[in-house]
Amino acid sequence: MLGYTIRRLLATIPVIGMVALFVFCLLYLTPGDPAAVIAGDIATVDDIERIRHQLGLDQAFLPRFWVWASAVLRGDLGISIFTNLPVTQLIAQRIGPTLSLASCTLIVAVLVAVPMGVIGAWKAGKLIDRLVMLFSVAGFSMPVFVLAYVLIYVFAIDLDWLPVQGYVPLQDGFWPWLSHLILPSIALGTIYIALIARITRAAMLEVLAQDYVRTAHAKGLAPSAVLMRHALKNAAVPIVTIIGIGIALLISGVVVTESVFAIPGIGRLTVDAILRRDYPIIQGVILLFSTIYVLVNLAVDLSYRFFDPRIQY
């Protein structure tokens, strides 16, 4: 197991390296760069050239890549072109809200979706199953921002139960922190709930058809015990897989949700950086995201062992 883990960790290095190279190439090939944006409205072409030179944007590819890559290996992600603040500081500032939002969404989604899927599988074919399936397909079908606007309108404006926008750090109080995250989590989580419920139901259906489940029933085990002790554990592998794959979905949705609810998170930071061509931020954040994704997938793979001891590494 340990050997497997180490081998996997080593294998992530070329992947991350590939991502770094890819992102850097992407930005290098971009026509246009931050120089013109920085120069402002009244600038002349000379001003733009001067800024470009100052930022080192007119250098060749390899020297630029080498400078950046070696800095990254030292833990220095560079300085944002527009705000002159270190990228690591910007990320540290904005990662809290995104993590809060993502974990709230994940917890809500799993807590709602897994029981939904289980119930759907248990009462397969009946009305409640049809409703579960209908919801899970419908949940996929609406863009996040439409749902977000509807939620704001109904719960924050009409009913005035929850705040419209913003983010309150956890240390300023638990309820303020939570209340600002409820609507965004629901908006973001709906797609996730639909996905997880679907997979859970399908996996449970397959497991419930197995012989050992029939045996458990025949033994006289209560249905809930059958579900929890035998079925769910065996269905866990694909469920956990989809949770892992869904992390990428989550990040995409986070970007939109942060925009609508004015949450100062990493998603919005990155989109703004991309649209402004703030290269250091773009490079730093995407590198961070892929590292997280790769590590999460590793964790998911390792967790298989926890759920299914038959899986050998």
Site for other proteins in 24-63 (CB under 8 A): 26-27, 29-34, 36-38, 40-46, 48, 50-51, 54
Beta strands in 46-126 (DSSP E): none
Applying CB under 8 A, which part among 14-22, 56-64, 66-74, 216-224 lies near other proteins?
A: 14-22
Binding-site size for other proteins (CB under 8 A) equals 102
Q: Give the nearest distance from C-beta 108 to other proteins in angstroms.
A: 13
Give 3 or 31: the residue with its C-beta nearer to other proteins.
31
Contact 3, 242 (CB under 8 A): no
Cα 307 from Cα 206, distance rounded (Å): 17
**Residue 283 tokens, joined:** 């490079």
Residue from 6, 9, 67, 138 binding other proteins (CB under 8 A): 138
DSSP 173-225: -HHHHHHHHHHHHHHHHHHHHHHHHHHHHHHHHHHHTSHHHHHHHHHT--HHH
Closer CB to other proteins, 216 or 294, in the complex: 294
Stretch that binds other proteins, among 61-69, 112-120, 147-155, 214-222 (CB under 8 A): 147-155
> Is residue 206 within 8 Å of 239, Cβ to Cβ?
no
Q: Is 127 in the site for other proteins (CB under 8 A)?
A: no
Which string of x and - marks every residue 172-201 that binds other proteins (by CB under 8 A)? xxxx-----------------------x--
Please, are residues 294 and 12 in contact by the beta-carbon 8 Å criterion? yes
How many other β-carbons are positioned within 10 Å of the β-carbon of residue 285? 23
Nearest distance, CB of residue 53 and other proteins, angstroms: 10
Residue numbers 58-87 binding other proteins by CB under 8 A: 80, 82-85
Give Cβ neighbours of residue 297 (< 8 Å, ≥ 6 apart): 244
Among 117, 181, 190, 277, binds other proteins (CB under 8 A): 277
Q: Give exposure, 80-103, as e/b (b: 16+ Cβ within 10 Å).
A: bbbeeebbeebbeebbbbbebbbe
- Going by C-alpha positions, the residue among 193, 174, 195, 176 that lies closest to residue 185 is 193
* Owner of token pair 């897989």: 241
Chosen residue from 56, 63, 166, 223 binding other proteins by CB under 8 A: 166
Candidates 65-73, 112-120, 149-157, 211-219 — which segment interacts with other proteins by CB under 8 A? 149-157
Min dist CB 294 to other proteins, Å, is 5
Residue 136: CB partners within 8 Å, gap ≥ 6? 116, 193, 194, 195, 197, 198, 201
When the beta carbons of 165 and 215 are compared against other proteins, the nearer one is 165
Q: Within 257-276, which residues bind other proteins (CB under 8 A)?
A: 259-262, 264, 268-272, 274-276
Residue 211 found at the interface with other proteins (CB under 8 A): no
Distance CA 121, CA 198 (A): 10
Which residue lies nearer to other proteins by CB, 217 or 305? 305
Q: Please choose, out of 63-71, 112-120, 161-169, 212-220, the segment that lies near other proteins by the rule CB under 8 A.
A: 161-169
Q: Does residue 255 bind other proteins (CB under 8 A)?
A: yes
Alpha-carbon Rg for the chain, nearest whole angstrom, is 24
